[in-house]
Structure 1
């Protein structure tokens, strides 16, 4: 699944790379530091239900003084891949660790940048995944595949920015169970992702990471009256 959109900025590239985290989709390598809660029993419900991740507010990507803000982003289930689905029972229960679901690559659009500049095309691809772990707080680790996000610029600078250039990149987020006041949420705070920047004049080739902040609503698409929840 791919997503393409245009930004405006001469130096957007380092910030655009942050977009690969998303989700940011965070972390600086292939694994996120774990806590003692990692051994806790995890149950994700409803078993076998599909879910969507939809941007709540804006997604902000920052590299130095450069800030990119996107107002539309989502990852939705589809019939062909079976991604964005909680494992059927008993796979939705792990007595000593997280429950993992594959994800379709997220899309991004309606993005602005704080500086004028070049045009950029962004593509996401491959199978992403989310690993949900019960604890205090509940956490969710997002992983993008190797090269699962590529940014290419034209105009004042011709550059290519690849996220997770040498291997899958994982990053931690906070997960909040939904209730009568609203859906479950996944919150990304100051996430970082490794990047490789290639190109000539105007390309931030020294950049090795970018950061990401956002909130996603996690909703049950099988039964919209249900909540996607994580417990013991």
Structure 2
């Protein structure tokens, strides 16, 4: 038999052996099941209530060598519309997943940078989103729309940092029930595009986001926004 005729059969034999081995590994031991575990049921209350998320302390963004620190940040409901509102019942409950709400873009002000002689302003646009998921711990995922956050520096370094530059992007933090309830983001990675000249971190592709937001009930200040099963 020629070498040319043996090689395909040998390859088939090896492939079949690997397939059998993989099948035994995944199913024979009963351990390596790749299917994700079902999400916990989630209920967010009070149903239909409006809420505000306001930074507790400072919000920071670090892209390459540039760190932005903002002392003021908040997302607040408008006089009309359903942004920043817990869904009405029964949509405030999900038997196997998160409960989501659209929110107004959070504002950022009183911002400084770690670079001498460089000032910064932040512009936010579009409809943002937040979804709460019950669990241990509970979590909250913030969705930034395409180019929904733009940082512009001026002075000794003129840079533009655009978050979610090619499409919506989400970052997940920890939700803690309380008075008020809190969302905590620790080094949450946000995709960015940086443009500019000298001193701009044009090689950075992500920004690390750190912040704690207090979430308070606007409809009834005596109530608390709560995530449960």
TM-score (ref. length: structure 1): 0.79
What RMSD over aligned residues (CA atoms) do the two structures have, in Å?
Answer: 1.8
Q: In 2, Cα distance between the equivalents of 1:213 and 1:152?
A: 19
Contact 1:38 1:135 in 2 (8 A): no
> 1:101-133 deviations in whole A, cap 9, x for unaligned?
001000111223333122333210000000101
Displacement, 1:89?
A: 0.5
Whether 1:210 and 2:207 are equivalent positions in the alignment is yes
C-alpha separation between the residues in 2 aligned to 1:139 and 1:101?
14
- 1 CA distance for matches of 2:175 and 2:38? 14
Q: Which has the higher helix share?
A: 2
From the superposition, tell whether residues 86 and 126 of structure 1 become closer, same or farther in structure 2 (CA, over 3 Å). Answer: same
Alignment equivalent of 2:187, drawn from 179, 184, 190: 190
**1:23 — aligned with what?**
none
Tell me which residue corresponds to 1:55: 55
The whole-number CA distance in structure 2 between the counterparts of 1:172 and 1:190 is 10
Per-residue CA deviation, residues 131-184 of structure 1 (Å, 9 max, x unaligned), is: 101111101111000000112233333332211000101011000011xxx310
Q: 1:70 matched to which residue of 2? A: 70
Normalised by the length of structure 2, the TM-score is 0.80
SS of the aligned residue for 1:39 comes to coil
Which has the greater radius of gyration? Answer: 2
Q: Do the aligned partners of 2:143 and 2:168 also contact (CA within 8 Å) in 1?
A: yes
Counterparts in 2 of 1:199 and 1:63: CA distance versus 1, 3 Å: closer
Greater relative contact order, per chain length (Cα 8 Å cut-off, separation 6+): 1
How many residue pairs get aligned? The number is 195
Structure 2: unaligned runs, 5 residues or longer: 1-34
SS, match of residue 154 in structure 1: strand
Tell me the equivalent position of 1:18: none
**Any unmatched runs of 5+ in structure 1?**
1-34
Change over 3 Å in CA distance of 1:114–1:55 after alignment to 2: same
The residue number in structure 2 matching 1:42 is 42
> C-alpha distance in 2, partners of 1:57/1:82?
27
Counterparts in 2 of 1:1-232, with a 5 A limit?
A: 39-64=39-64, 66-178=66-178, 182-232=179-229
Deviation at 1:39, TM superposition (A): 1.7
- 41-50 or 190-199: bigger deviation: 190-199
1:42·1:99 contact (CA, 8 Å) conserved in 2? yes
Relative distance call for 1:74 and 1:200 in structure 2 (3 A) is: same
Q: Once the 2 structures are TM-superposed, how far is the Cα of residue 64 of structure 1 from its aligned partner? A: 4.6
Asked if the contact 1:44–1:86 (Cα under 8 Å) also holds between the matched residues in 2, the reply is: yes
Contact 2:64/2:203 (CA < 8 Å) preserved in 1? no
Name the counterpart of 1:31: none
2: distance between equivalents of 1:88 and 1:147? 30
Matched residue of 1:112: which SS?
Answer: strand
